[in-house]
Structure 1
């Protein structure tokens, strides 16, 4: 597992949208739960940006297509009038436009799109006209094919040439950008392009990879808007992000040491890039190696950032800090906070406060944190909030919000003290769909209070129903009260759903998040079982029809459940960790696991005890493994190990693998987000519900 382990969380920037039962147009016929086919066609919206005058919101709408997901930019007026589409793309473009951003004068927008062979930065005037791409090319600093020790550039039978090649400019692929507040400069992040010599090596199949000796990486560039001159800054690779000061004089940039240094421990750093001397950035030595998102205070005197909490907590558990340059002093603004933060980049305001999104229990809400560390929750009409933004004048605030049983909407408010209103966005899903809100529940386990969300199908009103238990990814993650296509899909089969947040989850403070250290498959397993017991005592659930599913860490917990109890009739494990030893040596993000149980060769007993494979001899329940073949977080070998072990133990087991997909994309496809592999999600859902139905002794609902 790693910090990027996939789970259904509220801060996912692109959220599925659905028109829900109760809308007038849907009253003509009874509402129904979404089908598997309908989940493949759900659309999404994300990345809102408020215009400089505060009158419009730029937002990305993603269409689900037969072979992927394609995004376009739309304008949504804050006065409630109809939205309109701004950008279009040719059929050959399977991705569309993304990362829309206003120019500070409001006269044009910028966005990224893949046209031809490269991802380019485009500018679209708002008064009419075509979007035009900036000509972004660089001259390679060196052609690696001519460096000592380089691989040959020709095959043995190739014709030799004595003509010296002249350096040529090469287009760069833009990964991200930020516009200076004065609109004169655009900061770009782009990976070093392939040189002509490297291309020859690859074409000749002389392309061996020297692990952790990569000389390319992401760099920070400055684009002069008036002249289109592109300048590379002196900041070394790999650059992760950069934010402007309000006076446009400097950037705070985050970089990470390249070539696998993060596998050895935190390797981040913060750098100030001055517009007066961009070739010589200065490192801010007092910023920690766990540095996450950083921004300038509005007055430019402090750096606001997220970083690892000072107290005992897993990697990725963040606190909010300020660093004052004049005094070189650091202040932790959220030390001891009884929830979790870090669901968005810090948003400094003109009054000196900072906006974040906080999670407490199963609810997320905007949080305003003052310079002295006092925090105030801001009321929201929805249980889950994401993508909270404003403009430089702070003339309004927009965000995405949703709740269980109520699909995502775009909200606007002129002031944080006023009640937000939902704006008119396009209808992005079939009308007449049923969605049910959960019951927020909690139970006790080993002295901890454990949160859960219980969804009951209509059939529970007249008799006992089967129960599907779900475990989130992470472990550092949580289920929140948010709209879930996948849950409604399961409810449509007549099954109840219990989402569980065992110890180690977010939402209940640092101590709770750290409570599963060196105890994976121990206390967290007991927490989940205690939740099942609690629900059985209070709810019309058939105890003879229990199933469990989980993705990533949830898939790992599914493996523990398989080897510790026989109370379930079917278990589905997706992208799991099965053997901590082999996982540690092959995954991306081993330092994350090291926090939980140390280096496996130094803590062999602990690593094996916390591996589901260690209990394979006790497995009996039918077990389905779902796995992406290109998963770098929890690699394919993990599922293969469990599959082989259960087969040899004569346990009913199935392994289904999906080509081309990494960890996050497969999870998104399964749970209902538009992705470039929509059929993977369709097929996996079909297999999941059929497998569970067979375990329950029911007919397969999907053909």
Structure 2
């Protein structure tokens, strides 16, 4: 966000760019009464990662590709220009992503995990490559065992700074050889550090070197073949580097770094500067963190960064923008009373650009540092914009964007004035043959009078005189947000549900992003309890309007949405079926197993040892004696965020109380289920689960989605 034929690229190559207002792109889908199948939804191609050329005329972007044979979602790089010309830039096995133009516009750097890489690297490591924008063979720039995490071009268009995890030390390798593989908790963390590489320098000798690509029509010096030598900028075990940026003269790099790379230590992140010439590191900010995402001022005298401004409970406090002199000193907050998380993007002569969620929209903003004035750059007001990238002079910006009931495309637009946006991709044209659900923003009052918004998905032929089943799909976070854009279904087959005649409510319950810091704090020491009230009041509001069948209501969600669904399972008899995806059942179990242990102390203001009662009150398992609702549980077996003991605990408790329950564990997956075959399984399980309990369909027998043990067929 400004804040982070479906199997082919339909209508892309050679299609003319449209010079239209974004408001004009919202149109009603037409065609036969059909929706994409689950497989077609998983094959739907979506543009992402736009990178605008320095002259503002071309944009390189990623297009997803579903590889069923290798069970992977992969990405290719494409280039489009304002005149409507497009071409495929990379076409390799596996993925190419994270493209960035050199400041002179002559080269594009990107990351790839393609096979056949130079050097002894891990099979899935992402190495750095450069390629001529006109095409040709890409040249590998790094050969790192663990690959590259992030990178940025220097202003000279020759040097690239990047971060990579430090390799295992000799002592660690010797230990593994002698004792086997094991981990010392809080003792085996590996640090991430900054390096630089000159892509035009002579390569390290290697028999795997390839011929250099042709410079085609530009005048850039052709990088030599092979992999050049990289040079370390930071080192040691005092900090682990996160995001970074170059000064405009290329003499310094500002970076954020935390105690180590563990999520639980994210609050220790603060801002440093390193001098490229002598590698001298200076700590700029000593105030409490997290302090992140540094960007130099145009004259190099100051560094802007995102800060919690000393907030003790920074998980739900507003993230603000502050600036500090490059020599160090006392930071000053410059984003004023802007009441949302400000996601810093860049600092130009025109001001600081940042992104933020605005209820169910998201926008790019420009902050004038001297006055604190903030101007919304993107329009119209209901735009959902993501991933901005600027031309060198900041006169143009490329971004992903959608309006209500449209899919995401990539646009180029001016940053000032009233000029129209230029649409440069047309991937959503593949959806034109389908009749998709209609999305609208709805609003209701929760039990304590708080106004709650959500997205209601309706059949295209919705008739308010009829009664429809209602399925609630609950986002994660809790600081996620649902928006009325058209996105391919993942986890939950919403379009299939709507085609079967259901309404789907996606509530932005208390704690969601986009509604200000006070709203985000409403579930503090109230997790689950207040969230459940927001969901059930939304259900009641729709029932009261007369078009919902109160006897056919279900709920589902992943992560925090799974937790709220587990709360529904154990607290309500009003739902006919529930699906809990990677959800929390017991905050105590969660606290001692998760990789993000500060979460519950931040939201519950206590550890389970300090205040066991608040952990009991907000845990679904505490209400298991009242559980009646048939529940599907889905979990990755390597989930560190919400570890599987949460799923097993809920499953056993429901079984002990005679409640129909089915648990499916997906092997090799962490918190997200991120491969197509397993996402297919997740969606089909949900389709059959609710098909049975909401529509009375028989369970499917045999291998694959089917009945819960002991459930009625």
How high is the TM-score relative to the length of structure 2? 0.84
Q: How many residues align?
A: 637
User: Does 1:247 pair with 2:249?
Assistant: yes
User: Does 1:468 pair with 2:471?
Assistant: yes
- Tell me which residue corresponds to 1:101: 100
Match of 1:364 among 359, 362, 384: 362
Matched ranges for 1:44-443 at <5 A: 44-66=46-68, 67-79=71-83, 81-90=84-93, 95-114=94-113, 115-116=115-116, 117-118=121-122, 119-127=126-134, 129-136=136-143, 173-194=147-168, 198=172, 202=176, 206-214=180-188, 216-227=190-201, 228-236=228-236, 237-258=239-260, 260=262, 263=264, 266-278=267-279, 280-286=280-286, 288-308=288-308, 314-315=314-315, 317-325=317-325, 328-338=329-339, 340-342=340-342, 344-351=343-350, 353-371=351-369, 372-381=371-380, 383-417=383-417, 418-425=419-426, 429=430, 431-443=432-444
Structure 2 residue runs of 5 or longer lacking an equivalent are: 13-24, 202-227, 706-713
Change (3 A) 1:535 1:564: same
Match of 1:541 among 545, 548, 551: 548
CA distance in 2, matches of 1:234, 1:360: 38
User: Does 1:684 pair with 2:682?
Assistant: yes
Q: Which deviates the most, 463-472 or 475-484?
A: 475-484
1:294 deviates by 1.9
1:329 deviates by 3.9
Match of 1:562 among 561, 569, 585: 569
CA distance in 2, matches of 1:18, 1:514: 44
CA distance in 1, matches of 2:181, 2:429: 45
Q: SS of 1:528's equivalent?
A: helix
1:23 deviates by 12
- Aligned 8 A contact 1:213 1:259 in 2: no
1:176 deviates by 1.6
- Tell me which residue corresponds to 2:641: 633
Change (3 A) 1:108 1:659: same
- Aligned 8 A contact 2:148 2:164 in 1: yes
- Tell me which residue corresponds to 1:154: none
Change (3 A) 1:436 1:265: closer
CA distance in 2, matches of 1:471, 1:174: 34
CA distance in 2, matches of 1:329, 1:525: 43
CA distance in 1, matches of 2:538, 2:11: 32
- Tell me which residue corresponds to 1:578: 585
Change (3 A) 1:695 1:335: farther
1:474 deviates by 1.4
Change (3 A) 1:127 1:656: closer
Q: SS of 1:175's equivalent?
A: coil
Q: SS of 1:346's equivalent?
A: strand
- Tell me which residue corresponds to 1:696: 694
Over the residues paired in the alignment, what is the CA RMSD in angstroms? 2.8
- Tell me which residue corresponds to 2:481: 478
CA distance in 2, matches of 1:464, 1:622: 23
1:432 deviates by 1.0
CA distance in 1, matches of 2:39, 2:601: 41
- Tell me which residue corresponds to 1:30: 32
User: Does 1:614 pair with 2:652?
Assistant: no
- Aligned 8 A contact 1:566 1:620 in 2: yes
1:195 deviates by 5.4
Greater RCO structure (CA 8 Å; 6+ sep): 1
- Tell me which residue corresponds to 1:670: none
1:297 deviates by 1.9
1:287 deviates by 5.1
Change (3 A) 1:391 1:696: same
Q: SS of 2:32's equivalent?
A: coil
- Aligned 8 A contact 1:313 1:513 in 2: no
- Aligned 8 A contact 1:460 1:540 in 2: no
Q: SS of 1:226's equivalent?
A: coil
1:313 deviates by 5.5
1:563 deviates by 1.8
Structure 1 residue runs of 5 or longer lacking an equivalent are: 1-8, 138-170, 667-674
CA distance in 2, matches of 1:463, 1:450: 25
CA distance in 1, matches of 2:44, 2:283: 45
CA distance in 2, matches of 1:502, 1:375: 27
Change (3 A) 1:695 1:295: same
Match of 1:642 among 643, 650, 657: 650
CA distance in 2, matches of 1:215, 1:465: 53
- Aligned 8 A contact 1:573 1:624 in 2: yes
CA distance in 2, matches of 1:559, 1:88: 44
- Aligned 8 A contact 2:318 2:517 in 1: no
Q: Which deviates the most, 513-522 or 126-135?
A: 126-135
User: Does 1:599 pair with 2:607?
Assistant: yes
- Aligned 8 A contact 1:82 1:424 in 2: no
CA distance in 2, matches of 1:323, 1:360: 24
- Aligned 8 A contact 1:560 1:612 in 2: yes
CA distance in 1, matches of 2:537, 2:433: 37
